[in-house]
């Protein structure tokens, strides 16, 4: 296992998740992949759909960011992700319409105008707003 040399941070994100694949676990992994692709592509329209209005994010510098903050940062170029590399497969735990996703990734890019290139551990809280 690769040694972790940086500080971990916790991301708590309330996101809308549409489930359509054969198994719930496969749906969650597909949603994570789509979410990360939207971040890499700076796809603001997709991110506005993924992030709920009460979305909260703590970035790699410890700053609390809302949905509006993150969208503004992406639009202005102050935040951008050049690469996201999985250090391990995400752990998915489902509780009714709520899904917890714990993962460890290496991110290269910038958050709120400051460079970031290190390993992070994150916890995403996904809510299935469709209820199914």
| Domain assignments of the chain as residue spans, ordered by start | 14-127
- Tally of CB atoms within 10 A around 93: 10
Q: Specify the pLDDT at position 126.
A: 86
Q: Specify the pLDDT at position 8.
A: 34
With beta carbons less than 8 A apart as the criterion, state whether 33 and 45 touch: no
* Residue 107, helix vs strand vs coil: strand
For residue 47 the two structure tokens come to 């991110």
Q: Specify the pLDDT at position 29.
A: 85
The fold for domain 14-127 equals Nuclear Transport Factor 2; Chain: A, (3.10.450)
For residue 46 the two structure tokens come to 């997709």
Average pLDDT over residues 82-109: 91
Distance CA 127, CA 15 (A): 6
53 against 18, higher pLDDT: 53
pTM of the model: 0.76
| Position 18 confidence tier, pLDDT thresholds 50, 70, 90 | very low
Q: Specify the pLDDT at position 24.
A: 67
Among residues 114, 110, 102, which one has the least CA distance to residue 8? Answer: 102
Q: Which residues pair with 58 in a beta bridge?
A: 64
Q: Specify the pLDDT at position 131.
A: 58
> Model confidence over 26-80: pLDDT tens digits?
888 888 899 999 999 999 999 999 999 999 999 888 889 999 999 999 999 999 9
Query: To the nearest whole number, what is the mean pLDDT of the chain?
Result: 81
Region at 123 (left for phi over 0; alpha for psi -120 to 50; beta for the rest): beta
Q: Specify the pLDDT at position 132.
A: 52
Distance CA 114, CA 117 (A): 10
Q: Specify the pLDDT at position 23.
A: 57
Helix (H) or strand (E) holding 104: strand 98-111
């Amino acid at each position: 296992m690769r040694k972790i040399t940086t500080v971990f941070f916790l991301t708590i994100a309330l996101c809308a998740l549409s489930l359509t694949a054969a198994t719930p676990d496969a749906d969650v992994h597909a949603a994570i992949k789509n979410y990360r692709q939207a971040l890499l592509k700076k796809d603001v329209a997709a991110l506005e759909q993924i992030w709920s209005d009460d979305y909260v994010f703590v970035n790699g510098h410890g700053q609390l960011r809302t949905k509006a903050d993150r969208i503004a940062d992406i639009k202005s170029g102050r935040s951008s992700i050049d690469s996201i590399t999985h250090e391990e497969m995400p752990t998915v735990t489902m509780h009714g319409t709520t899904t917890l996703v714990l993962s460890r990734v290496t991110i290269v890019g910038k958050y709120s105008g400051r460079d970031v290139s290190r390993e992070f551990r994150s916890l995403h809280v996904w809510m299935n707003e469709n209820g199914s």
